[in-house]
Amino acid sequence: MKKPIFFKVFGSYVVIILVMSAVISVFSFSTIRTHYEETLALELENVGRALNARILTLLEKEGPQELDAFLKKIGTEIHARLTVIDTEGGVVADSAKNPAQMENHKYRPEVVQALEGKIGRSRRFSYTVEEKMLYVGLPLDQDGRRLGVLRLSLLMRDINILQHSLRMTIGRTVVIMAAASLVLALLFSLQFTRPIHKLTKASRQAAAGNFGVRVSFSRNDEFNELGEAFDRMAGQITRLFDETSRQKEELLNRIASVPEAITVFDKEGRITLANESFKKMIGLEVPEGKFYWEVIRKPGIQDLIGRAKSDRRHLSEEVSWDDKLFLCAANYLGLQEGVVLVLQELAGIEKTDSRPPSI
């Protein structure tokens, strides 16, 4: 089944828009999610740097209990978990749990990196709080000595809630953009295919014989040039048809005035043209459309026509019709596969002259 070009053009835009919307949604969320987690990690790092001096003071002068109380107070205020770990991996203080009940943290990735003097980062499941968390570890250094590690962490659950909200925002934005793009694609497809529909309609009218049809476009592009070319073509065809009709009319008038009887048969043997002389000979006003053997009941002439058609050549011979002698010429028409029959009365002409009559 033939599909209109509008559906092909608009369908292509729909596929492209949907694919691009899906790609944008996936990559934009992935990029924003990575950027968001990076931003949170930097914020934890900055908080850790801000608390570094106070934690070192509590760690060296006031003891673990004061430090643990301080971490629990600060952790509640900043909604993050803080843990101080010594160089052997032992937990000195923690804002969420009892340090004495916590296992050794020396081999945790963020702690290992911090003990090496780097900023440690990690995202994994915490068996202490039984949830996935984002960790940032900072080295605690005092007078060139490494006293331990300050680790800050956030629950991924809280991050995921924010990211879910972000995902919904991105989704709504993409849907709105896709809908706007589809509307624009629809308008563009209509604008693009409207000239094609107009040209198609005009072509069908021209094919049906209406060569007076014209197309015009109020646009300065290839469609306008195509419309102008169509108009010129239709005008030229109209002129050619008018000229052909005029020539045909002149030819028919000349044939009608010829004294010889002239008729034309198509490849089926039907009469397509007959002049007045032929009509008088057969006694019919309208022989067109009849088979030649229905109106010419002379076996000799029928045989001559049949031989001229089968041999595909010109044949002529003398025949008798109503006690008159005629020179009968049958000319084969190659393109039409028909035959032109000319009957010329031989009154006053020697019977030995078998030259075909001129028409």
Look at residue 1 in the predicted model and tell me its pLDDT: 55
pLDDT tens digits, one per residue of 303-336: 888 888 888 889 888 888 888 888 999 999 887 7
What's the DSSP call for residue 102?
Answer: S
Tell me the H-state helices in the chain.
Answer: 5-57, 64-78, 109-115, 156-207, 222-257, 276-282, 292-295, 299-311
User: What are the sequence ranges of the domains in the chain?
Assistant: 5-162, 209-249, 258-345
Per-residue pLDDT of 53-86, as tens digits, reads 999 888 888 888 899 999 999 998 888 899 999 9
Share of the chain above pLDDT 70, in %: 93
Domain 5-162 sits in CATH at 3.30.450.20
SS (H, E, C) 123-147: EEEECCCCEEEEEEEEEEEECCEEE
Tokens read off for 164 = 């879910």
Spatial separation of the C-alpha atoms in residues 113 and 119, rounded to whole Å: 6
Residue 131 has pLDDT above 70, yes or no: yes
The two tokens of residue 15 are 């596929």
Q: What is the pLDDT of residue 351?
A: 46
If pLDDT is split at 50, 70 and 90, which confidence band does 359 have?
A: very low
Same topology for domains 5-162 and 258-345, yes or no? yes
Specify the pLDDT at position 91. Answer: 92
User: What is the spatial order of strands in the sheet that 261-265 belongs to?
Assistant: 271-274, 261-265, 338-345, 324-333, 315-321
Tokens of 88: 């052997």
Contact 282, 296 (CB under 8 A): yes
pLDDT at 129: 66
Q: How many CB atoms lie within 10 A of CB 42?
A: 13
Instruction: Output the average pLDDT for the chain.
Output: 83
Q: Which fold has domain 258-345?
A: Beta-Lactamase (3.30.450)
Q: Pick the more confident residue, 349 or 147.
A: 147
Chain segment 132-191, per-residue pLDDT in tens: 888 999 999 988 888 999 999 888 776 677 777 777 888 888 889 889 988 988 888 887
Per-residue confidence (pLDDT) for residue 88, from 0 to 100: 92
Q: What is the pLDDT of residue 358?
A: 42
